Structure 1
């Protein structure tokens, strides 16, 4: 089953400095049909004005992933971590037993990003933070950037039975991904357009996927940049 969720159907919030679109119920956006998908609880599509951002605030017991689509974001937290994550980079903050962090756009342009929250397997775990570049090379299919599985190689660690995968496809390029039984996937086209098992997704559209053994993804004439999270159902 593949449920296409067009960008125009997402929840919306405008705060002046922040324009947000919500794939799932969040803040003032209430939608009982879209509260989560598998272990994915939040997927926000945010645009943050230059010189603004999220002031220091706490989180706990949540795996928080940020993928920067445009511009850059500067992270600081009370664990001593600090980093500037530019377009094409991914960061993982495993909030665990508790962390206070800020995320600021210190650039002179709007920063656009996806913020993804995944519910953890274990509560009260030791928090951690890390970053990784998005795969820009075409022809290699999906690359695992973060994972809670033991055989994930150099992927950033997650405290959840989940995988964050990404792919850059050239114009007309296709790739496949196996989705084992009992797994749910959420796919968003970050840039470009593509079809997934024959169903079209335009830029920033999403597909909520379950009970599909194989995904066949074909990039449109402009190519495509894809972000996918799979978790247990």
Structure 2
């Protein structure tokens, strides 16, 4: 099953400094049919105005991954971590037994990001934070950014306390990439830039076309074929237990 969730149909929230869109129920947006996707609980598409951001607030027992699409975010937490994650890079926060953090856009331009929450397999772990640069080029397929599956750490992923993975790719116009999905797992796929189609590698069913920032919820597929549209396309994919 490959289900299209158009950007226009997802939840939204806006105030004087934050323009947020929610692929799953979050905050004041509640849709019983969109409470998550397997162990994936939150996918927020946020735009943060210059010199504003999220003041200190707590989290517990959640794996929180932030993918920066434009600009940069400055992270500060009660563990003493302080760092800047820039466009194209990723940060991971293990909420564990409890962490209080702030996320600020200290730049002169808007910051656009995906914030992804995945429910951990292990609770009560030590909280932590890390950020890493992940250079990506077209024609190089999907790259692992963060993961807790066997082999993910050896592939250079930021670690997760979850049987899950966050991957990204940059495809040239018309380029294809195939992604294998293990039995019992599901995927959620969004393109921050560019349009694309996804088809079952089995050849069953019609390809599904997605525009930028649409969501594709994928289940009961063992492999998918992703094809970029007429312009360069960037993809972010989350692989979780279904």
Match of 1:231 in 2: 240
1:203 counterpart = 2:212: yes
Q: String of CA shifts for 1:180-202, please: whole Å, max 9, x gaps.
A: 11001000111111111121111
Measure how far apart 1:138 and its partner are: 1.2
d(CA) in 2 for partners of 1:134, 1:195 = 24
d(CA) in 1 for partners of 2:32, 2:186 = 18
- Picking from 172, 186, 189, the partner of 1:187 is 189
Checking the alignment, whether the CA contact within 8 Å between 1:184 and 1:232 is kept in structure 2 is yes
Match of 1:106 in 2: 106
RMSD of aligned Cα (Å): 0.9
Measure how far apart 1:71 and its partner are: 0.8
What are the within-5 Å matches in structure 2 for residues 29-48 of structure 1? 29-48=29-48
Measure how far apart 1:108 and its partner are: 0.8
Shift >6 Å, 4+ stretches = none
d(CA) in 2 for partners of 1:42, 1:15 = 20
1:144 counterpart = 2:144: yes
What are the within-5 Å matches in structure 2 for residues 73-152 of structure 1? 73-152=73-152
SS of 1:103's partner is: strand
Aligned residues: 233
- TM-score by length of structure 1 reads 0.98
Structure 1: runs of 5+ lacking an equivalent: none
Q: String of CA shifts for 1:1-20, please: whole Å, max 9, x gaps.
A: 01101111110111211010
Match of 1:24 in 2: 24
Structure 2: runs of 5+ lacking an equivalent: 200-206
Checking the alignment, whether the CA contact within 8 Å between 1:167 and 1:227 is kept in structure 2 is yes
- TM-score by length of structure 2 reads 0.94
Q: String of CA shifts for 1:44-89, please: whole Å, max 9, x gaps.
A: 0001011100001111100000011111110011111111111111
Change (3 A) 1:42 1:127: same
Checking the alignment, whether the CA contact within 8 Å between 1:135 and 1:166 is kept in structure 2 is no
d(CA) in 1 for partners of 2:183, 2:132 = 28
1:13 counterpart = 2:13: yes
d(CA) in 1 for partners of 2:41, 2:96 = 16
SS of 2:149's partner is: coil
Measure how far apart 1:136 and its partner are: 2.2
- Picking from 161, 168, 171, the partner of 1:169 is 171
1:214 counterpart = 2:223: yes
